[in-house]
Chain A
Amino acid sequence: MTVNGQSEARFSPEYHNNMPQPPAPPTASKQPQPPAKGVDSQSVSRRLQSELMSLMMCGDPGISAFPEGDNIFCWKGTITGSKDTVYEGMIYKLSLSFPTDYPFKPPKVKFETIIFHPNVDTFGNICLDILQDKWSSAYDVRTILLSIQSLLGEPNNDSPLNNQAAALWINQEEYRKVVEKQYKVVGGGN
């Protein structure tokens, strides 16, 4: 009979220690820390690399993103409208472009697919606080995508970019129709 002689571990597992310690989320101050001097693009891309890894590994349903071509600073994102919202089943494409001082500055996030939404304008620009003044370096691609996904179902109708959408929001049935119509017109999804 064959026996597995368990000898002492000859290999100690190597822990990849290349994930930069994310700075603690800002406590009281709204302003993020000024970008540290000498943050080389090497460490930024390493951070993005590990964000990609965790995004891939966690496998949240309905959100996904991947670097485009050979540039890790430019990503394509995909958000599927969550269940029980007017956006259910729709697939929206986004583009994410990361600054060289990321994560101290937020990435620029835009909808590539035209979307009928109170907080998104016709050019796909998104009005979301965490992408502007509420940004913190503790956020990452995953949290951004999750925020946008939840924004779809819970728009902020107080400061709309698309007034028509904000006004129509009360009538969910009509709203759904417009969303579907626009989605079809632009041939959304793929």
Chain B
Amino acid sequence: MAGRASSHDQRLLPTMDRDAINEITHNWSGFCIVTEKLLQDKNDPFKESEFVAFVSALSKHGLSSLVQDYFLQALEETFRTNSVAKFWRHFDAYSDFVVRETNVATDDWVREALHESLEEISSEKLFQEKCLSFLLRALQAPQGSKGRQAKASDSKSTTVDLLSRYHLMVASILLTMLPRYFPEILRLYFKERLEELSLVMSEQNEDGDKLLFPDKNRTESNYKHFYSAIDEMDHESHHETVLFESKLVGKAWISKVGKVVQDLRSLGFISMTEDAYSCAIFLLLKRKVEILAGDDYRTPVLDSIKEWIQAVPLQFLSALLSYLGDSIGHEKGSSGYISPLASCPPLDFGQESPSEGLIRWKLRLEYFAYETLQDLRIDKLFEIIVDYPDSCPAIEDLKHCLENTGQHSKLVDSFISALRYRLLTAGASTNDILHQYVSTIKALRTIDPTGVFLEAVGEPIRDYLRGRKDTIKCLVTMLTDGSGGNSSGPGSTGDSLLEELIRDAGEQETSIYDDEFDSEDKQAWSTAQSWEPDPIDADPLKGSRNRRKIDILGMIVNIIGSKDQLVNEYRVMLAEKLLNKSDYEIDSEIRTLELLKIHFGESSMQRCEIMLNDLIDSKRTNANIKASLTQLSQKGIDQGDNELLLDHLDATIISSNFWPPFQAESVNIPAAMDKLLDDYAKRFHEIKTPRKLLWKKNLGTVKLELQFEDRSLQFNVAPVHAAIIMHFQEQTRWTSKNLAVAVGVPVDTLNRRISFWISKGVIVESVGSECDDHVFTLLEDVSDANRNIINSGSCEGLLAADEEGERSMASVEDQLQKEMTIYEKFIIGMLTNFGTMPLDRIHNTLKMFCGTDLHYDKSLQQLQSFLSGLISEEKLEFRDGQYMLRR
């Protein structure tokens, strides 16, 4: 500056006479002294007239710019030395806190330090501005006297220029010396203020509903007060008690915060301040969302979050913005200049429309809330879906969030990885996986009616389920569950697919037949695989109409690949169920079948229908035969006491071609019973010539009562069990070998079966004379029985385990194994000649060469499970994805 000034002088010098030079030097030195006095010593009375004289004299010589430069420089020097260092010193203590990250003790300190330091530096700045105004006045004075009109605009521009230079200087000095932790301090400050407000608000909310619309009233009331508040700003007391005096947040409080913001702004920390309070707001909002959302999925939280946004941060902002807007407007009116630094966006909405800035803030905050809640919910989506029907509110919330943020892909990615990690593991039971799958379908159907994301999420689950053996069994159970007992009881089978079936039946006008169903399914499958994400903006409502509706059953069948397998499994289960019935009551089965028929087509359920019809026919035939036989017997001989009455026999007559294969096991049933069966069969033959009855003596149930000396017990057992216990009627001790011969079953089967009676405490087992022989003795006495009945608590479990092993129907796996043995020779043959083959090549070769004659129609999975059976039989080896013969 000095160099520039001197060169300036030199250029002027030659054109001036000595007097003028003397005058200039005199005035300059006077100006310098007065300026220094003015700036350094506030108490010294300021000789304005003297100052004006010097300035006007200098500017007469065209040195006004020099004067301005010098003055500004002096201001800068003073500001730097006096105020800035002091200002930052206030916060020195804070640097320690930042390092230690303990904010416990800082609470009051931050506020006080900030208030104090800002007040100090602002007053300094105000003072300097006053000095500047002296200079301006001095500069304008001579101009005003000369050509007022010509120079009016010029002087104005000088004023603006000078002031803006001053502000720029202040800001740059502060920013260049800015300590690293200052933004942190600001953030802390606003955080505390917001927390205070939040606290007050929550206290108010507790008070009742009178504050349902508090915002409007409060802003307006605050707004009114601001006019008066501005003038007495400096005199405002900073007692904390003021804050909580009224139920509403006091104007003192808001004006204090507002003043801080304003001071910070005037010092040039505009964006830093805004960053600080928006950061504080967002942090608070985030925490609030987290607290509100928590781990409770049973209540919707979105509304309360929105309410909170309205109540706290928007409240704060509206107050702050209106305060700032107001104050700026006020300044505008009084001093008539516009600071270029002050023109930041929120201020643009200053007086006339404070709501526009607020609306913008509101949108920002709401979006942030949506995003936070969405992230929170997506992270916990797995848990949410686990308690699906109860967690509907959470899903609704998530849906709204996603509608606003459009980050569906985030959901898909995170959910898939959660699934992989938590559900699709060996530890999860197939039933659980299926239930979760169904819940997922239902939940995602709510979120995204187009089913696009569901496809993506469902894929890994389906893939995994295909690898599980008991998938079909579980599925069929789910499909038919509830049909057994209380199908009408609502809520009892929340996860049951049966209700889905029922609902589906209601929706479907026309039943879908085989081929249609298949092709439709395939089409859906292929579209799912070639899926490309829709642009998020695409109207999901429009899309959903074009798309196939999400069909839970269809998706379930997709898991298995073909409905035939499902139907087959159902047939086996149905057969099992029907055979164990003794009362021909099949209403619920008929209902289930009708529903399944609607979904899977009439023809595929045909065999099942025949099975049900067999039951209906059996009922009629049975009644018929019994009626005719009792007529006969009444005519002739009277029955002995011991004779079994035909009344006790109910037959299920089945067309075995249409039933799944039965478990074959021979058993010798007691002679009296045998005779009864023969009579029955004969009668049947008479009625239904040329048909004959072939008894499956090992199937069915026997209801029997055992009478001991002191008690009698009733049982519902399988014929084998009955046959075994009948033998103890004649002889209370049997060795296992003899008994096995008498009953007509292998010894090991007998040992297995008799464990039922042992568990019931009817028979005791002891080691026989030979080591592998056991002796079974009938227990007549309860006292005897008591010794053994200790474990009767667990006998239900034993029974269940036993029953598991003796299902009447050959299981689907057994059937498959049987069917596959035909192909075993082919597989051995091709492996003999080709050495090693991968699974798919074996599959294809079988399809090619056994397709026509042997009707090879198994799926790859079925083949695979058969091959692994062969491996466990040590016929094959599997290495590196290749099957080979074991040598």
Contacts and interface: CB of A to CB of B under 8 A. Distances in A.
Interface string A170-190: 000000000000000000001
Given A2-B654, A5-B655, A6-B691, A52 B849 contact: yes
B169 to A, nearest CB: 89
A5 B692 CA distance: 6
Interface in B822-837: 825-826, 828-830, 832-835
A65 B833 contact: yes
Contacts of B654: 2-5
Interface string A31-51: 000000000000000000110
A65 B702 CA distance: 54
A15 B799 CA distance: 46
Interface string A16-40: 1010000000000000000000000
Contact of B829 (A6, A56, A190): A56
Contacts of B684: 5
Interface string A59-91: 100001111101010011110000000000000
Interface string B665-693: 00000000000010011001000001111
Contacts of B30: none
Contacts of B700: 1-2
Contacts of A18: 852-853
Given A16-B853, A18-B853, A3 B696 contact: yes
B652 A56 contact: no
B853 A1 contact: no
A2 B652 contact: yes
A65 B662 CA distance: 36
B694 A4 contact: yes
Given A1-B649, A56-B826, A7 B691 contact: yes
Contact of B849 (A8, A49, A64): A49
B656 interface: yes
Contact of A2 (B655, B699, B848): B699
Given A1-B699, A6-B694, A59 B834 contact: no
A72 B693 CA distance: 48
A16 B693 CA distance: 31
B133 to A, nearest CB: 101
Interface string B510-552: 0000000000000000000000000000000000000000000
Interface residues of A, number: 34
Nearest to B827: A56
Contacts of A57: 825
B691 A10 contact: no
Contacts of B614: 5
Contacts of A93: 833
B657 A3 contact: no
B653 interface: yes
Interface centre among B654, B700, B719, B833 (most CB of A within 10 A): B833
Interface in B788-828: 808, 825-826, 828
A78 B655 contact: no
Interface in B609-665: 614, 649, 651-657, 662
Contacts of B853: 16, 18, 49-50, 53
Question: Is chain B's binding surface mostly helix, strand, loop or mixed?
Answer: mixed
Contacts of B845: 66-67
Nearest to A52: B849
A16 B855 CA distance: 12
A55 interface: yes
Interface residues of B, number: 44
Nearest to A57: B825
Contact of A49 (B680, B701, B852): B852
Given A56-B826, A66-B829, A76-B834, A3 B655 contact: no
Contact of B848 (A7, A64, A70): A70
Contacts of B657: 9-11
B885 to A, nearest CB: 9
Nearest to A67: B849
A55 B852 CA distance: 16
Contacts of B690: 8
Nearest to A58: B825
B849 A5 contact: no
B579 interface: yes
B829 A3 contact: no
A27 B844 CA distance: 41
B649 A5 contact: no
Contacts of B134: none
A25 to B, nearest CB: 25
B573 to A, nearest CB: 16
B849 A3 contact: no
A78 B651 contact: no
Contacts of B337: none
A165 to B, nearest CB: 26
B85 to A, nearest CB: 91
Nearest to B649: A1
B90 interface: no
A7 B692 CA distance: 7
B695 interface: yes
Contacts of B649: 1
B832 A78 contact: yes
B115 interface: no
B697 interface: yes
A1 B695 contact: yes
A4 B693 contact: yes
Contacts of B691: 5-8
A3 to B, nearest CB: 5
Contacts of B579: 2
B832 A66 contact: yes
A2 B699 CA distance: 5
Contacts of B697: 1
| Residue of A5, A10, A50, A59 with highest tally of chain B CB at under 10 A | A5
A77 B830 CA distance: 10
Contact of A1 (B692, B719, B828): B719
A38 B156 CA distance: 114
A9 B692 CA distance: 12
A190 B692 CA distance: 57
B580 to A, nearest CB: 9
Contacts of A6: 656, 691-694
A137 B670 CA distance: 60
Q: For A6, A72, A78, A190, which residue has the most chain B Cβ atoms within 10 angstroms? A: A6
A78 B830 CA distance: 10
Contacts of A72: 849
Nearest to A11: B657
A10 B830 CA distance: 37
B656 to A, nearest CB: 5
B653 A56 contact: no
A46 to B, nearest CB: 8
Contacts of A53: 853-854
Contacts of B849: 49, 52, 66-67, 72
Nearest to B691: A7
A3 B653 contact: yes
Nearest to B690: A8
A5 B833 contact: no
A93 B835 CA distance: 11
A4 B661 CA distance: 12
A18 B854 CA distance: 12
Given A3-B651, A3-B695, A66-B830, 15 more contacts: A1-B677, A1-B695, A1-B696, A3-B653, A4-B656, A5-B653, A5-B655, A6-B692, A16-B853, A55-B829, A56-B829, A67-B848, A68-B834, A78-B833, A190-B835
6 contacts: A2-B652, A3-B651, A3-B654, A5-B684, A16-B853, A68-B833
Interface of A: 1-11, 16, 18, 49-50, 52-53, 55-57, 59, 64-68, 70, 72, 75-78, 93, 190
